[in-house]
Amino acid sequence: MLNVVRKTLFASLSIIHDKMKKDLLTLRDLSPDDFEALFERAFELKGRGGMGIPDRTLYGKTLGLIFDKASTRTRVSFEAAMVQLGGTPIFLNARDTQLIRNEPIADTARVLSRYLDGLVVRTYSQDLLEELAAAASTPVINGLTDAYHPCQALSDVMTILEKKGQLEGLKIVWVGDGNNVAHSWLNASAILALHFVLACPEGYYPKEDILGPAVKDTSGSIVVLSDPKEAVRDADVIYTDVWASMGQEKESAHRKAVFRPYQVDQALVALAKEDVMVMHCLPAHRGEEIAGDVLEGPQSVVWDQAENKLHMHKAILEKFLLSGEQ
């Protein structure tokens, strides 16, 4: 009799857990209030960390990181965030798992959900990520797909807030490929009503099914141009990223030729506001999308930008791993 009661209790607990789990697959999963709370907590954690105050909010939690693409910053900042908050990360190169031998992604997700309190996943296909998240009973966080890089855009906006003190009235200009990071910036722009301008070569604009809804939904402004000089005029922020993203290596040579006029060099930066700040999610290719002297110059904030991934990832992990407990 006692066993039956226990079984029923555990079954209902697992249903409650399933219902409560929230994923971060795109920034469209977040409300403006969620953004605000994440920024506030990330700044708080950064301040506390700087003062040497320990936080153990994720004590007893275990995070899996399944990565099917290379990563330095995202992997290490999520792992360090977990350790610093008292939890445990487990890194899984997707190629070392049974995924490589065609175990279905949904089976993998269901099993890992029984061991772990959440997953950060870096892979190619957004559809695959969504399939994984639908089968997982614990939160799934997008650590980059071909379509999006939501955690990157969150820590990037945090960096702008930190340096500029506000988002209102800023002209933020994306120069280069309308890629996964640009897509997450479009989502962020729509939700936060940013003034976001993109300069992309024709044929390399953001995907219409991401750009269109962002333009429609924003109460700020989103403009796509093909002339980088026109785009950066009076810019407060210039942002660039690689010309060939992971998975596009075969297109590299062609892209180098197409994107050459889109290099963020001193001449382009000179057309923006005097106090413009230059951002790059890294890794950077000096002499391609960004000139070496710009990356190393006084307007570049790339190292602080990279650091903020740690603080923002802590805030994200708290929000999603503890969501069923709040």
**Interface region with ligand NVA, contact rule CB under 6 A, candidates 118-126, 160-168, 174-182, 229-237:** 174-182
With binding defined as CB under 6 A, does residue 187 bind ligand NVA? Answer: no
**Interface region with ligand NVA, contact rule CB under 6 A, candidates 2-10, 107-115, 175-183, 204-212:** 175-183
With binding defined as CB under 6 A, does residue 242 bind ligand NVA? Answer: yes
Taking the complex as a whole, how short is the minimal distance between the CB of residue 162 and ligand CP, in angstroms? Answer: 17
Count CB neighbours of 57 within 10 A: 15
With binding defined as CB under 6 A, does residue 181 bind ligand NVA? Answer: yes
Taking the complex as a whole, how short is the minimal distance between the CB of residue 249 and ligand CP, in angstroms? Answer: 14
Taking the complex as a whole, how short is the minimal distance between the CB of residue 62 and ligand NVA, in angstroms? Answer: 25
With binding defined as CB under 6 A, does residue 281 bind ligand NVA? Answer: yes
Answer for which of 108, 180, 189, 299 binds ligand NVA (CB under 6 A) is: 180
Residues that bind ligand CP (CB under 6 A): 71-75, 144, 152, 281-283
Residue nearer to ligand NVA on the CB measure, 30 or 281? 281
Structure tokens at 270: 């000179």
